[in-house]
Amino acid sequence: MIEVYFTPTPNGHKVSIMLEEIGLPHHLIAMDVLKGDHLTADFRLINPNGRLPAIVDHKPIGGGAPLAVFESGAILLYLAEKSGQLLSNDPRRRSQAQQWLMWQMASFGPMQGQAHHFIRYAPEGQTYPVDRYRNETVRLLNVLNGRLSEADYLAEEYSIADIAAWPWARAISAIGLSLDDYPAVHRWFEAIAKRPAVIRGTDVKNATNLSSARPVLSEEQWSNLFGKNMLDAPTR
Ligand SMILES: N[C@@H](CCC(=O)N[C@@H](CS)C(=O)NCC(=O)O)C(=O)O
């Protein structure tokens, strides 16, 4: 059994989709980041970085004690290795999948994440960071569109690279961008959205809040996410 410390965000959905795709038994543990569920000493034993998602595999590859894995990209690689699915053994495709997975983890997720922060959570009127991170997200969408104009999937066949990037393509509407402006991304997005495992993997717990409205946070909730409570959380 694999326990998944889960929140219904793009990074969380990568793991719920992957587990539905490969069919390994798992159990989702709902973590409420607004309440600070991720700030506890116990959770730091599972993820020293205190973020979601994280998994604990009670029957890990190689046997032995339960294995905790954090960082959504590392979790996708681990699950691909464990299941023998969604990461090709062909060296060229395998490398392509790894490259696009790293691209998502280093660029498409973090840059868009900052765009969400400055457009939806930070005090209004900060045009420099809003422009900076929205422009970077647009640039990355153009890169994605270019790749998907030359191949059906990021590594030519459906893989963990698509599972990593798809939930972040799904989130662009919340920062006022549209897939209509990226035709190849749109085609790829719709093809993946129809997969039964993707439908099941995104229909877990509460749906991600994809509304472009600015969430209203209490002082306590803001502190858990971005302020003193987050800074004061125990480290491992
Ligand atoms: N690079 C990490 C990012 C993890 C991350 O930032 N997770 C968010 C939810 S998507 C989180 O835990 N937020 C709580 C917080 O910011 O304190 C990954 O891909 O797993």
CATH of the domain at 187: 1.20.1050.10
Ligand 1 pocket test, candidate residues 11, 40, 72, 160, most atoms within 8 A of CB: 11
Q: Does 140 contact ligand 1 (Cβ within 6 A)?
A: no
Residues 168, 95 share a domain: yes
Residues 181, 129 share a domain: yes
Contact criterion met (CB below 8 Å) for 176 and 212: yes
Please report the pLDDT score of residue 124 as a whole number. 92
Hey, how many other C-beta atoms are within 10 angstroms of the C-beta on 190? 10
Q: Which residues pair with 54 in a beta bridge?
A: 5, 70
29/51 Cα distance (integer angstroms): 14
Contact criterion met (CB below 8 Å) for 57 and 67: yes
* Digit-coded pLDDT (tens) for 106-119: 999 999 999 999 99
Residues 176, 97 share a domain: yes
Residues 146, 72 share a domain: no
Task: Measure CA of the first residue to CA of the last residue in the chain; give whole Å.
Answer: 25
Q: Does 221 contact ligand 1 (Cβ within 6 A)?
A: no
Residues 148, 80 share a domain: no
Nearest Cα to Cα of residue 101 among 125, 77, 131, 117:
77
Give me ligand 1 centre to Cα 92, in Å.
Answer: 30
Ligand 1 pocket test, candidate residues 29, 52, 69, most atoms within 8 A of CB: 52
Question: Has residue 206 got a pLDDT over 60?
Answer: no
Nearest Cα to Cα of residue 195 among 168, 171, 159:
159
Residues 190, 140 share a domain: yes
Contact criterion met (CB below 8 Å) for 11 and 52: yes
Residues 221, 185 share a domain: no
Please report the pLDDT score of residue 208 as a whole number. 54
What percentage of residues in the chain have a pLDDT greater than 70?
97
* pLDDT band, residue 217 (cuts 50/70/90): confident
Range of the domain at 158: 91-195
Residues 173, 97 share a domain: yes
Residues 106, 191 share a domain: yes
The reply to whether the predicted model has a pTM over 0.75 is: yes
CATH of the domain at 21: 3.40.30.10
**Structure-token pair, residue 230:** 């987050």
Residues 103, 56 share a domain: no
Give me ligand 1 centre to Cα 197, in Å.
Answer: 23
Domain count, the chain: 2
Residues 109, 68 share a domain: no
Please report the pLDDT score of residue 215 as a whole number. 84
Work out whether strand 54-57 and strand 67-70 pair parallel, antiparallel, or are unpaired.
antiparallel
Residues 114, 190 share a domain: yes
